[in-house]
Structure 1
Amino acid sequence: MDKIQTLKTSARSLGLIHTRDALDEVIHTAETEQHSYLDFLTYVFDGEILYRQNKARDKRIKEAGFPYPKYLKDFDLTFCKVISKKQFKQLTELTWIDGLYNLILSGPPGVGKTHLAIGLGYQACEDGYKVSYTTMQSLIKVLRTEEIDRHAGVKLRRIRSSNLLIIDEVGYLPISATEGNLFFQLISELQERTSIVITTNKGFEEWTEFLGDAALATAILDRLSYQCDKIPMNGKSYRLENRKSFLNETGKDK
């Protein structure tokens, strides 16, 4: 037992956290399965690598700032019929991130825009990309307070270093001219450096309405749409079509 404790201490000194924590199991497995020295070392190293990969993935997901988990496997293509299986597969392969393409998911509330955006973000985190999620209102707030709020500065530094930025709920509320200019500056800065996914309830022709400036709207859309796929997700609300009733489920309204 003293030797095992010494090994655990050595593993900790070397930063082999998984090996330290799993050492008893590792030794038991090696003895039970009569591993050769080579097999034993392979087992130890593979376990450590997998542990570090999973830890890094979990850190990427946490730091992305998703409001809740959404997964591509749960996205209902039978409900969202505007996206074909082939298009969906192309989206999930994420090659558009490497090509610095943007996605604009437009349509009314409840059609799956946010689900698809977050699902793509989760998949990107799984695949090793650095992702940032924000709503438009939160983004505007951190842009306005970057110079005076440390947390805003940290958030924007992460956004600027991300492979993928998801901006949710663009156009739901109007923004001031100053805020619009800050948004334009960020989009310009990220152009050809970061892929951007935007969810919006506005068509391109309506961006002037919430930005309050036709020239600014044109300039922003010009940069976003340079390399971009626009996916109109029109249709009925998934939430309304699948709404649940507590009374119905418990039988109390019968």
Structure 2
Amino acid sequence: MSVNSILNLMRELDLRGALAAFERFVSSPQELDAMPAQLLLETLLQNEVNNRLIRKQQNLLRMSHLPYVISPSDIAYDSVRGDEFKAKLTSLMTLDFIKLGQNLTVFGSAGTGKSYIAAMLGRLACMSGYTTLYYSASELIDNLQLSYGSPNYQSKLRTLAVKSLLILDDFCLTEYTTAAQNVLFDVLNARYGKKSTVIVSQKLPDAWLNILGGTALSESIVERAGNNNYTLILKGESRRSSLD
């Protein structure tokens, strides 16, 4: 089989990683002729695996709607945040809580870096192959309310239910109508005990119940949002002028 035939087959099979590697070898015939067949095949296959992993990561990041590009090295550890913060965040960055389907609540005043840290964990999740979605709580509720009670609503709920990680930012920032609470309950209930949800809030769970009205429905929401959780508290004042 000719070199061109091999290249055409790789294109037809969409073996992009192997194709790119083989094209490099073709451009250097002496290196190609000197390479044992087994090593050549191993190299091509490994390049294909690497290429597919990168494409998967890029697709997961694109679909996640993460608002920031944050890496672990961008997170500041200082005396204000304390050693406990560093220890907890280091543990969370293993993503074991996602493997176990457990939740995380991130608390702190406005500007303390809650959204940045949630986005960083979301990015790590994407890079590790976990399906991830980021929404502000109000944005998600508004999106679902448009189709509430329809088959499309149930379809959207099923999609949300199977995502490995859902990040809900600005949780209980404002009051929610009963209709909005119904949507919020449906989302949290569909995921509870199965998939991980990160709740980002300026207020602690005791305040959630008051904001939600203290009804049986609001108690159910708080139970699902506040239980089965790891907790990360960000101390200090606003860091808006810095990255995190």
Q: TM-score range by the shorter chain?
A: 0.7 to 0.9
Q: Residue deviations 1:180-234, cap 9 Å, x none?
A: 1211122111111111101101111211343234433322221233311222223
* Counterpart residue number, 1:199: 200
Q: 1:55 to 1:151 in 2, by over 3 A?
A: farther
- Alpha-carbon contact 1:111-1:235 (below 8 Å) kept: yes
Higher relative contact order (CA 8 A, sep 6+): 2
The alignment-based identity, stated in percent, is: 22
- Alpha-carbon contact 1:174-1:209 (below 8 Å) kept: no
Structure 2, unpaired ranges of 5+: none
- Alpha-carbon contact 1:110-1:236 (below 8 Å) kept: yes
* Counterpart residue number, 1:17: 16
In the aligned structure 1, how far is the partner of 2:232 from the partner of 2:88?
Answer: 10
Once structures 1 and 2 are overlaid, which stretch shifts more, 92-101 or 157-166?
Answer: 157-166
Q: How does the TM-score come out when normalised to structure 2? A: 0.88
In the aligned structure 1, how far is the partner of 2:90 from the partner of 2:123?
Answer: 15
- 1:5, distance to aligned residue in structure 2 (A): 2.9
Q: 1:63 aligns to what SS in structure 2? A: helix
Q: 1:149 to 1:6 in 2, by over 3 A?
A: farther
Structure 1, unpaired ranges of 5+: 244-254
* Counterpart residue number, 1:58: 58
The reply to whether residue 75 of structure 1 matches residue 47 of structure 2 is no
- Alpha-carbon contact 2:162-2:191 (below 8 Å) kept: no
In the aligned structure 2, how far is the partner of 1:164 from the partner of 1:51?
Answer: 24
In the aligned structure 2, how far is the partner of 1:131 from the partner of 1:60?
Answer: 7
* Counterpart residue number, 1:248: none
- 1:156, distance to aligned residue in structure 2 (A): 4.4
Across the two proteins, how many residue pairs are aligned to each other? 241
- Alpha-carbon contact 1:80-1:112 (below 8 Å) kept: no
- The root-mean-square deviation of aligned C-alpha atoms, in Å, is 2.6
Q: 1:96 to 1:45 in 2, by over 3 A?
A: same
In the aligned structure 1, how far is the partner of 2:195 from the partner of 2:149?
Answer: 25
Q: 1:235 to 1:143 in 2, by over 3 A?
A: same
- 1:146, distance to aligned residue in structure 2 (A): 3.0
